[in-house]
Chains A and B, each alone.
Chain A
Amino acid sequence: MKEELFISGRNIPNVDPYLNIWHWQIPIYLYLGGLAAGIMFFAGYFTIMRKEKDMETTVKWAPFLVPGALVVGLFALFLDLKHQLYFWRLYTTIRLESPMSWGAWTLMLVTPLSFIWVASYMKELFPKWDWKFNILNKAEALAIKYRKSMAWAMMLLAVVLGVYTGILLSAFNARPLWNTSVLGILFLTSGLSTGLAASMWMSKSKYERKVLSRLDLIMIGIELFLIIHMLMGFLAASEVQIEAAHLFLGGEFTVVFWVFVIILGLVFPATLEVLELKGFHIPVWIPALLILIGGLVFRFVMVEAGQITRFLY
């Protein structure tokens, strides 16, 4: 008798046993969306608080990053699409129950607003700037006149954008790691923190950096609280959620999560910021860069790990 050994298994790359269809484009987009939301929120906030002069970089200079971040982020999202030529169909419908629809429309409002905000400061920041066409000069005057209204819109839309980057994931019922209501607010807080870090890095004013640093410490505190809260929530839930939490508590993503997100992305920069507030000399780019990298790694970890978690085995 001739014996034959058959080995069967589940090994279809990116499909089974794990459906892995979201790659680098999604975390990049979520990160840049959060960063843009963070910068816009505080630009709007300090404008409303009439602190444009004291917080010049946050209000006037850092928003220059926003249109770029949004365009690059949206391009990454576009690259992820299977049917790229049909992206415009998102704008033929409004579906309140769909986070993607919310996101698409928010971005449709946020992106032009970010361009208008930056344009409204062009002449002030670059005195030699000339719009060349009279209609553009009139549009600029109008934008300056309604700057406060724009600031309110920016703050509101920044919150929607920041929360949406998390809800986009948490709306997936079939992915236990993502399916938590904490994710929306957690991604918003992380986005605000990275936005503050970017503004802080760009700022040359000691007063401004101090204010931003204090705000950032609050954001980092909230973020740590939410992460602990999220993990506790998972551990108190059903088996699939407990397994999801274990990816960070001894499983595959433990090292990258605790070392690069929690320690180097949150705790260590927070320590440096505290030291700076106490009068020690800390080059501002170090905590800022660590926060920015920590935020990016956090998006990658959440998107990658989330795709591994599932209900059916």
Chain B
Amino acid sequence: MDTKIVKKQQPKYINPYFGGILLGLLLLAAFFIAGRGLSASGAVKLLVVTVVDKVAPAHAEGNAYYSKFIPADGSSPLYNWLIFGAIGTFFGGMLSGAIFGRLKKLRVEHSPKISARTRLIAAGAGGILFGIGSQFGRGCSSGAALSGTASLSFGGLIVMALMFGIGYVFAWFFRKLWI
């Protein structure tokens, strides 16, 4: 194997500040092209709504929360820009992983001090809390914090400040999961 290929296969990450600028430009492009910002939790929410609507349509339509996301024209809740945004993010991430040598065998990334199982349990618990919180906050770090702040929404600013501020504080308590 020549050295060029070996070099290509080393995982590579860009400078986080540069990454932040790129993310901002991506957000701008999303507003410009799609007229909407970025979102992540919204796609999961629509997936949940679709499953509930399929399994128990009467319950979904009668529920104040689910019914908001069921289109009146009878089309699927999945037929939404949020879903296509999520699909794009998934495949875009995959392409980035391929180019920068991070696309390897399916694996669980975790600190050497914890097992893969602990990592999965912690990620699952964190994900559930994040999912609940994002719905109370009307969006997650992408939908509310990034897109909200970019459109100068006051709610977005609060989400941004509290989400990352509290995250910073709580990181200390759970630091052993990582370092």
Contact = CB atoms under 8 A, between A and B. Distances in A.
Interface of A: 255, 259, 264, 268, 271-272, 275, 279-283, 286
B32 to A, nearest CB: 19
B8 interface: yes
B47 to A, nearest CB: 17
B103 A281 contact: yes
What's the interface size class on B, roughly? 10 to 19
B4 A259 contact: no
Contacts, number: 34
A272 B91 CA distance: 11
Q: Which of A271, A275, A281 has the most CB of B within 10 A?
A: A281
Contact of B98 (A255, A264, A282): A282
Contact of A275 (B4, B84, B91, B99): B99
A281 B95 contact: no
B162 interface: no
B164 to A, nearest CB: 33
Given A255-B84, A259-B87, A264-B91, A279 B98 contact: no
B104 to A, nearest CB: 7
B103 A282 contact: yes
A153 to B, nearest CB: 40
Interface of B: 4-5, 8-9, 79, 84, 87, 91, 94-95, 98-99, 101, 103-105
A272 B98 contact: yes
Contact of B103 (A259, A279, A283): A283
B103 A268 contact: no
Contacts of B8: 279-281
A281 B12 CA distance: 13
6 contacts: A279-B8, A280-B9, A280-B98, A283-B104, A286-B94, A286-B103
Given A271-B95, A286-B103, 4 more contacts: A275-B99, A281-B98, A281-B104, A286-B94
Nearest to A263: B91
A279 B94 contact: no
A272 B99 CA distance: 9
Contacts of A279: 4-5, 8
